[in-house]
Structure 1
Amino acid sequence: RCASSSGGHDDEVSKAERANRAQEIYGTQPLTIFSKIIDRTIPADIFYEDKKCVAFRDVNPQAPLHFLVIPKTPIPRISEVTEDDKELLGHLLVTASQLAKKEGLDEGYRLVINDGKHGAQSVYHLHIHVIGGRQMGWPPG
């Protein structure tokens, strides 16, 4: 999830710090909320699924349209991908692009991948935020 517009940045940073500490303590990736969405043990507004990924609407949208594309194979961080992940990563980006088009984001959109503590990653399961439907600002952080 992204930070909310009312001081949510600190909330997301705190979540990222907690998730980073959990990863350091456990040494391996604990089951994430996204794993539970994939296996349907918690609900989500899933609007696309194929053999490799799932897309669902963000519960805390930062724009008129905000959804996530996540791989079914849990990769904790973009910084931990390997050569073997090339096909999956390409599939995620192509899927994000096709879904953005289907959702009417013809004027453009932003793709965001948070990585690690300083990137404010709060869920250690690779995910692409697709955010659009309004003019984005710059710089983003």
Structure 2
Amino acid sequence: MDCLFCKLVQGDIPATILYQDDDVIAFEDIAPQAPTHFLVIPKRHISTLNDVSDDDAALLGKLPIVAARVAKEKGIAEDGFRVTMNCNEMGGQTVYHIHMHVLGGRAMTWPPG
């Protein structure tokens, strides 16, 4: 598979790992859009949110749990942070392996993007 994040999960691409278990990995974004910006992804490849099924509920339920845990460890939980997932080109998705962006360390504006 030619997926950037699958290669990262396999250890073929270096990353600053913040959390990892059998199902999920969190790592620093290489092009941060806030003082704190990390990604949380399932280790199993799922291309887009459109490809998610009921069978993925437990796996995807771990993503916000890990996001909150790492946000607390990074010191942004109390002040607040933004969580976002992009889907397909018009939604801003550039890597086709679902991933949750976690941004913090500054005030977020609305609407995004």
The interval holding the TM-score normalised by the smaller chain is: over 0.9
- Greater strand proportion: 2
Aligned mates of 2:91, 2:45 — CA distance in 1: 18
Q: Percent identity?
A: 47
Match of 2:105 in 1: 133
Show structure 1 runs of 4+ deviating over 2 A. Answer: none
The aligned residue for residue 82 of structure 2 is: 110
What TM-score, normalized by structure 2, do the two folds share? 0.95
Show structure 1 runs of 5+ residues with no match. Answer: 1-29
Determine helix, strand or coil for the equivalent of 1:97.
Answer: helix
In structure 1, what is the Cα distance between the partners aligned to 2:18 and 2:72?
14
Equivalences for residues 82-97 of structure 1 within 5 A: 82-97=53-68
Is 1:33 the equivalent of 2:13?
Answer: no
CA distance in 1: counterparts of 2:82 and 2:3, whole angstroms:
24
- Give the aligned length: 112
Question: 1:70, 1:94 → 2: CA distance?
Answer: 12
The structure carrying a bigger helix percent of its residues is 1
Gaps of at least 5 residues in structure 2 are none
TM-align CA RMSD: 0.9
Alignment partner of 1:60 out of 22, 31, 42: 31
Q: Which one-letter code corresponds to 1:130 in the other structure?
A: V
* Distance (Å, rounded) in 2 between the aligned partners of 1:55 and 1:91: 11
1:121 pairs with 2:89: no
Given the two structures, how large is their TM-score scaled by the length of structure 1?
0.77
